[in-house]
Structure 1
Amino acid sequence: MSKKMEKKYIPLAEFFQNATQSEITLTYEAIENIMGQALPNAAYLNLSWWKKTKPPLTHYQSWFNANYHVMDVQLGQSVTFSRLKQTGIDENDADENTQTSIIRPIETEDARSFIRLQEQIYAQSEFEYYEPNVQHLTVQIIRKQMAEWRKFKQQTILLCIVNGEFAGYSRITGYKEQRLQHGATIRIGVLKKYANNGIGTALVESSIKWSQQNDIERLEAIIMAHNTKAISLFEKHGFTVEGKKVHSVKIDNEYYDEFIYSKLVR
């Protein structure tokens, strides 16, 4: 009887289930980004770890179950996966430039990468509250926050990873006060290079689903009034305006209003 696949390889399995390319080359870093975990030492030292297709170890199922097999391994550098041809499927229909993505909750190993992603978004966006390098976040601070989230269970960060690269995030922040615990705020950030590729839509939809699974009934988003793309995104998903905060943000001596959007998700 085959063993169940280890939990840490589930995001990798989701990635291959979403993939449509006939051939995919991923660096070790990209694979670890997808997983949110470090690969074992054996993956760095032994070709046999990648080539095996039998229990008791079951990591191979993450790609094998999606009809991929390992074609080439450059130990410690990259792995090339090839999709087995299936009857009735035209391999010419596969777009080799397709960007395969997954969205998953942040893991402890993601702390440093998340800080870097957030700082990149701060540097690119005119709609963030912070300028780059002013929060002075550290890996220890993020990991301490994550420990609190696990106790509280109504806060998280969802990461969007495209072809092994961190592309965006959704931060869902719940309330500790008992009478407010049915609600949470949501804030989306996407790297400019991945704008207009459906990443924002996927993050909002995943945030709604996560909230429904974690007993959150109401989501709220605070959006700058001139951020028309974000307004369109949230309105498309059923968020409605509840009010306006006048002159709530001051950037370079100019004042900007903000809209309060909300949606009942349960």
Structure 2
Amino acid sequence: MAHLIREISIQDVEAFTKLLSSIYDDADYMLYNPGEYAPSQSTIISNLERIITSPSNTIFVAEYNDELVGYAIVETEDLERAKHEAKFTMGVIKHYREKGLGQSLINSVEAWCLNRHIRRIEISVVPQNSTAVTLFKNAGYQIEGELRDKLYIDHKYYNKYVMSKLLL
């Protein structure tokens, strides 16, 4: 499968909104319930402009046949004591999962972090999302802890693993 991983641009606003809605509507363990992600166009543009113009945050998108099919949002702090750490979230449209896109997004995030001398990368994963847990373990991430009852989905509480990787 030939795909392209690149940083997002403001021209991607409509496609990115569609991508997020699609992933959130299909995902079993993401923050949003199906149909719940419905930001205004101005909110999306404002958030993208903030991230695009920030030297300490970025969004990578996975593109296949001119369609956005995955993303990774990377956020860091400007504070001296915390600027060595990045937290990220990612998602891939269900049809494109387990085809190397997740690993490609992780590789892009790690390269971006290395270029900014970021030592620690952190992500949260629901333990029942065994595909994601395995993906991150295979990429060298370790489970550091478990946050109890972080999500409430279909009348049931779910924990989240905090997973991290040290780069430098």
TM bucket (normalised to shorter chain) is over 0.9
Cα offset, 1:151, TM superposition: 4.5
- Greater Rg by CA: 1
Cα offset, 1:136, TM superposition: 2.9
Match of 2:24 in 1: 122
Cα offset, 1:131, TM superposition: 1.9
CA–CA distance in structure 2, aligned partners of residues 216 and 142 of structure 1? 27
Match of 2:142 in 1: 240
Q: Which stretches in structure 1 are left out of the alignment for 5+ residues?
A: 1-98
1:225 equivalent in alignment to 2:133: no
Match of 2:165 in 1: 263
SS in 2 for 1:242: strand
CA–CA distance in structure 1, aligned partners of residues 54 and 95 of structure 2? 34
Relative to 1, partners in 2 of residues 1:240 and 1:177: Cα closer, same or farther, differing over 3 Å?
same
Counterpart selection for 1:179 from 81, 90, 98: 81
Contact 1:153/1:214 (CA < 8 Å) preserved in 2?
Answer: no
- Report the AA paired with residue 116 of structure 1: K
1:138 equivalent in alignment to 2:40: yes
- Report the AA paired with residue 154 of structure 1: S
Match of 1:195 in 2: 97
Deviations 1:147-173 (A, max 9, x none): 323453121110000121111111111
Moved more, 101-110 or 170-179: 170-179
Counterpart selection for 2:117 from 196, 209, 215: 215
Supply the RMSD in Å over aligned alpha carbons. Answer: 1.6
Moved more, 112-121 or 178-187: 178-187
- By relative contact order (CA 8 Å, sep 6+), the higher-ranking structure is 2
Contact 1:154/1:216 (CA < 8 Å) preserved in 2?
Answer: no
Taking only the aligned residue pairs, the percentage that are identical comes to 27
Contact 1:170/1:188 (CA < 8 Å) preserved in 2?
Answer: yes
Match of 1:101 in 2: 3
**Matched ranges for 1:32-51 at <5 A:** none
Contact 2:145/2:161 (CA < 8 Å) preserved in 1?
Answer: yes
TM-score when normalising by structure 1: 0.60
CA–CA distance in structure 2, aligned partners of residues 180 and 100 of structure 1? 36
SS in 2 for 1:197: coil
Q: How many residues align?
A: 168
More strand by share: 2
